[in-house]
Structure 1
Amino acid sequence: MQGRQIVITSTNSITELGYGNSEMWSNILNGKQGFSKKYKTIAPRQTTFSGQVDRTKIKEDYFSSKEVDYLDDIAKFAVSATLDLAKEEQFFETDMFGYDPFRIGVNIGVGLFGLGKMSEASKFFSNKDYSKISYHHLASMIPNSAPAQISIKLGTKGISTSASSACTSSLIAIKQSYLEIAGGFHDMMITGGVDAPLEDVWHLGFSKLALAESQSENGCKPFSSDRNGTVSAEGAGILFLEERENALKRGANIQAEIVGFSSTSDSFHNLAMEPSAKSPIKAMKSALKMANLNPTDIDWIGSHSPGTKKGDIYESKAISEVFGEKTPPVTALKSYFGHTIGASGVNEIIAMIESAKRGMIIPTLNLTDIDEASQINHCLEVKHCNVRYILKNSFGFGGTNSSIILKINNSNLH
C-alpha cells in the first residue's frame, strides 16, 4: 500500500449554497450563507434558519416517476450530484474512464438514514393508513440506499457501501475509499457524503440539546462570543478518487492528493465531548505523521466548529495544542453551509479545494466578536496566498473524530 498516491480528480457539491461547484463558489465569493429563514418546526427552542436544497434544480430525467415518489432525498441528492459530475467528466462516453466496472466502487457517508421517508411512513402508521406504507419505504430508509442508487445509475459493480459515523461520516467514507484503492481492491472510488435531516424529529432533538440556533440574526456563528447553536442543512458532496498514475494516463485534471488521515474516538459520552480534547489532538497529530509533515507545513485549517457553545471551544483547545503559536489560518466553513451532518466534511473540503486552487483562503463569516476561549488564528478576511497543504477536521456525536490532509495541485491555479 505504501507508495501508491491516491488523488481527487473531480468534485461536485449540492447544497443551498449552490447547485454545483460554480454556483457554490460564486455565492462564497459574494459572502452568501447557505441557509435562510424559511423553516418552522414544532421544537420549543424555535429555529429560524435551515439550509435547503433547491429541488427544482434536480434533473427530472435522472429518476423514473416511481423513483421520484419512493426514493428518499438522501438518494436523490447523492445521485444528482454524482450524475452531474459523471456527465461533466464524460464518464459514460469514455466507457467508465476505461476501468473495469468491477473495479469501481461507491462509498457514501450518511450521518442519518432516510429520515424523510421514515417520517412519512410514521405518519401513515399513526393515521392507520397502512395501505400507503410500501416496501419501498423500507428500502429508502437504509443508509446504503444512496450508494446503491449511484451504483445502479452508473452501472458500477465494485463495492457499494455507506460509512455512518455522525458528522464524520463523509471523512470516514473518503478514508475507506482511499484504502480500497491503496490496497489494490479498486481502481476508482466514488465517495463523499449526503444527508437530509430537515424533519421535525431532528429539530426537536437538537432543540432539547440546546444545539440548534435560536433567533439569531445571522444564523451559524462559529467561534463568536454570541453564538447560540448550529444551523441544520441538507446536501451532498461527491469526489472521484483514483490512483495518481492511472489518473494521469487518462488525462484527468488532478485537484488534490490525499496524503494523511486519522480517526479517533473520545470513549467518553454519546453526546458530550471529553474535556481534555486528547482524541481530536491525536487525530490531527496522526494525520500529520502519516503525511510526513510538521504542523508548520499546513497552510490552512478547515475546522469542524458547528457554532455550539462547547464544541467550538473544544476544537480551539485541540488546534492550539497541535499547532501552538504558529497555527495557520482557521476557517469555520459552517458559517457558509450550516451543518450538513454526514455531508459536512466533504462539502467543506470541496470549498477549500475550490478556494486553494485559486490561491485564496476564505474567511469565517459573522466573526466580529471572537470568544476569549477560542483565541486561535482565525481567518477574518480573504487571504491571497499559495496554499499547498490543507487540514480538515470533522467531529461528531458518539465522540468520533476525523482529520484529513490534502496536498493541493497548485498547477490548477486559476
Structure 2
Amino acid sequence: MKSPVFICSLGSISALGQSPTEIWNNYKNPRHFITKHLFSETETFAAFLPKEVRNPIEAIRNENSNYRKLDDSVLFAIFSARKAIKDAGWKNEKNIGINIGSSRGATGLFEKYYKEFIETGKAATQASPSTTLGNISSWVSQDLQTVGPEFSHSVTCSTGLHAVVNAIAWMQAGFTEKFLAGGSEAALTPFTIAQMKAMKIYASEDLDFPCRALDMEKKQNSMILGEASGVLALQNKNSEEAIARISGIGYATEALKHSVSISEKGESLQKAMKMAIGDKELSEIDAVVMHAPGTLKGDLSEVNAIKAVFGENTPAMTSNKWKLGHTFAASGILNLELAVLMLQHQEFIEVPFSEISEAPARLENILVNAVGFGGNAVTILISKK
C-alpha cells in the first residue's frame, strides 16, 4: 500500500444484529446464533437475520415500487450502505465509489424465476435484470444517488475482502477519495443448502455448538451457512470519525488440485499474510481473525499457514463462524468487523470450545483472512487508529 486507508464506519447485518453495541454484546455472549430450519422438508442448521433486522429491510422493499422486484441480497446491501453512510457522516457526499460483491448473487430470485420457467416454459420480464450480479452496487448507487465508480464482482468466499482491496486500489490511484466496499449474501435457499450438502461439508451433528470452527479435534465437517451483508466506508484521510486503519493488504492464488481445495499448508494464505504484514515485525501482529469455515481441511490448512508464517510464536487465533455461520461474500467483512470491535474494546473474543490459542496481552494489529473456491486468499491488516 502507498499509504494507510481509514475505516470511517462499518454497516453490517447478520444473525448478531445490526448496531455495533448489539453486535459486540452478542460476541460477548457465549452462545451461538444458529438454529434449525426446514429446507426441502429437512431440518438443517442455518443462521438467519433476526426479525428486528428483517423488518426494516422489508420496509425498504415497500418504499419504492422498483424495490419490490429486488433480491434480498440487494436490499441487504442497501440497508448496510445507508447505515455506513450515516455513521461515517457522509450525508451530503456524492463522489463515492461503490464495490459491493456477492458469491451467489440473487440466489432467491434466480431459483424462483427458474422454477417458473420449468413449470410454464416462459421467463418473467424481470428475470434477467433482477438477477444480474451488478444489481447490488447499481441499486446502492441509485439509492444513495452517488456519482463515483460503481461495480460488483464475485470471487466466491473472499469476495468481500477483495472488494476492499479493489476499493483501495481505486482510491490510491486517485479516482476518488471515498469508497463503500463490502459483500452481501442472501443464499439461504433449498438449492444452495443442497449444494453444500452435496459437497459433504455441511454440519449434521446436533451439538451444543454445531459449527466446530477451530475445533482441531473434530471428526466431521461442520460448515453452516448464514445470511448477512457488510459495507465499509473507506477514505484516504484520517478523521475524528475513523474507527480503525488499514495498514496492509495481501492477496494470492494457488494452483488447484481440486476445484474446492486448498493446499495442506495454505500456500495462498501464507503469501497473502506475508504481503499484508509487509515490513512489520512478526511480533507486532497480535491476533488473526481466521476464515476457518468449520471444515476439516479448511481449518487445518489455515492453522498450518499461520504456523508456517509465524513459527512457534503464533498470534492469538479466533473465528466467528461457530457463532453466526459462513456468510460467503460477507464473511470477510464480518471478520474485519470483529477485528475492529476487538481493537476498540481491547478485548479478545475466543472460540469457547477451542484450545488453539490464548488471549493476547495486547491488541494493536490484527490480521483478517478470507479464502475462497478457486484457490484465492486475501488478508487485510487492521490497526488501531
Q: CA deviation at 1:62?
A: 6.4
- Aligned twin of 1:108: 100
Q: Contact 2:9 / 2:87 at 8 angstroms: preserved in 1? A: no
Whole-angstrom CA distance in 2 between matches of 1:332 and 1:323: 18
Q: CA-to-partner distance for each residue in 1:364-396, whole Å, 9 max, x for gaps?
A: 1333xx5xxxxxx424xxx48531100011111
Alignment of 1:61-210 (within 5 A): 61=60, 63-92=62-91, 95-96=92-93, 101=94, 103-128=95-120, 130=122, 133-210=123-200
- Sort the Cα spacing of 1:47 and 1:401 in 2 relative to 1 into closer, same or farther, 3 A: farther
Q: CA deviation at 1:338?
A: 0.8
Whole-angstrom CA distance in 1 between matches of 2:296 and 2:4: 39
| Number of residue-to-residue matches in the alignment | 378
Q: CA deviation at 1:28?
A: 1.1
- Aligned twin of 2:254: 266
Q: CA deviation at 1:344?
A: 0.1
Q: Secondary structure at the match of 2:311?
A: helix
Q: Secondary structure at the match of 1:394?
A: strand
Q: Secondary structure at the match of 1:261?
A: strand
- Sort the Cα spacing of 1:125 and 1:114 in 2 relative to 1 into closer, same or farther, 3 A: same
Whole-angstrom CA distance in 2 between matches of 1:180 and 1:36: 40
Q: Contact 1:37 / 1:49 at 8 angstroms: preserved in 2? A: yes
- Aligned twin of 1:390: 366
Whole-angstrom CA distance in 1 between matches of 2:351 and 2:184: 23
TM normalised by structure 2 equals: 0.92
- Aligned twin of 1:323: 310
Q: CA deviation at 1:69?
A: 2.8
- Sort the Cα spacing of 1:270 and 1:65 in 2 relative to 1 into closer, same or farther, 3 A: same
- Sort the Cα spacing of 1:5 and 1:61 in 2 relative to 1 into closer, same or farther, 3 A: same
- Sort the Cα spacing of 1:32 and 1:57 in 2 relative to 1 into closer, same or farther, 3 A: farther
Q: Secondary structure at the match of 1:157?
A: coil
Q: Secondary structure at the match of 2:188?
A: coil
Q: Contact 2:171 / 2:178 at 8 angstroms: preserved in 1? A: yes
Does residue 348 (structure 1) correspond to residue 335 (structure 2)? The answer is yes
Q: 2:214 aligns with which of 215, 223, 230?
A: 223
Give the partner amino acid of 2:109: K
Whole-angstrom CA distance in 2 between matches of 1:90 and 1:394: 29
Does residue 278 (structure 1) correspond to residue 284 (structure 2)? The answer is no
- Sort the Cα spacing of 1:85 and 1:39 in 2 relative to 1 into closer, same or farther, 3 A: farther
Does residue 256 (structure 1) correspond to residue 244 (structure 2)? The answer is yes
Question: Structure 1 segments of 4 or more deviating over 4 A?
Answer: none
Q: CA deviation at 1:86?
A: 2.5
Q: CA deviation at 1:283?
A: 1.3
Whole-angstrom CA distance in 2 between matches of 1:34 and 1:143: 28
- Sort the Cα spacing of 1:90 and 1:405 in 2 relative to 1 into closer, same or farther, 3 A: closer
Aligned-residue identity in percent: 26
Does residue 12 (structure 1) correspond to residue 11 (structure 2)? The answer is yes
Whole-angstrom CA distance in 1 between matches of 2:121 and 2:18: 36
Does residue 399 (structure 1) correspond to residue 375 (structure 2)? The answer is yes
Q: Contact 1:336 / 1:365 at 8 angstroms: preserved in 2? A: no
Q: Contact 1:390 / 1:408 at 8 angstroms: preserved in 2? A: no
Whole-angstrom CA distance in 1 between matches of 2:16 and 2:40: 22
Q: Secondary structure at the match of 2:37?
A: coil
Q: CA deviation at 1:155?
A: 1.0
Whole-angstrom CA distance in 1 between matches of 2:352 and 2:265: 28
Q: Contact 1:47 / 1:215 at 8 angstroms: preserved in 2? A: no
Q: CA deviation at 1:38?
A: 2.2
- Aligned twin of 1:374: none
**What is the alpha-carbon root mean square deviation over aligned residues?**
2.0
Q: Contact 1:19 / 1:57 at 8 angstroms: preserved in 2? A: no
Q: CA deviation at 1:63?
A: 4.8
Give the partner amino acid of 1:114: A
Whole-angstrom CA distance in 1 between matches of 2:98 and 2:62: 19
Structure 1: where are the runs of 5+ without partners? Answer: 371-376, 410-414
Q: CA-to-partner distance for each residue in 1:196-232, whole Å, 9 max, x for gaps?
A: 1111221111111111111331221112223532110
Whole-angstrom CA distance in 1 between matches of 2:125 and 2:84: 30
Whole-angstrom CA distance in 2 between matches of 1:386 and 1:222: 24
Q: Contact 1:70 / 1:137 at 8 angstroms: preserved in 2? A: no
Q: Secondary structure at the match of 2:36?
A: coil
Q: CA deviation at 1:59?
A: 5.8
Q: CA deviation at 1:299?
A: 0.8
Q: Contact 1:335 / 1:366 at 8 angstroms: preserved in 2? A: no
Q: CA-to-partner distance for each residue in 1:33-53, whole Å, 9 max, x for gaps?
A: 2321224346xxx66210112
Q: CA deviation at 1:276?
A: 4.2
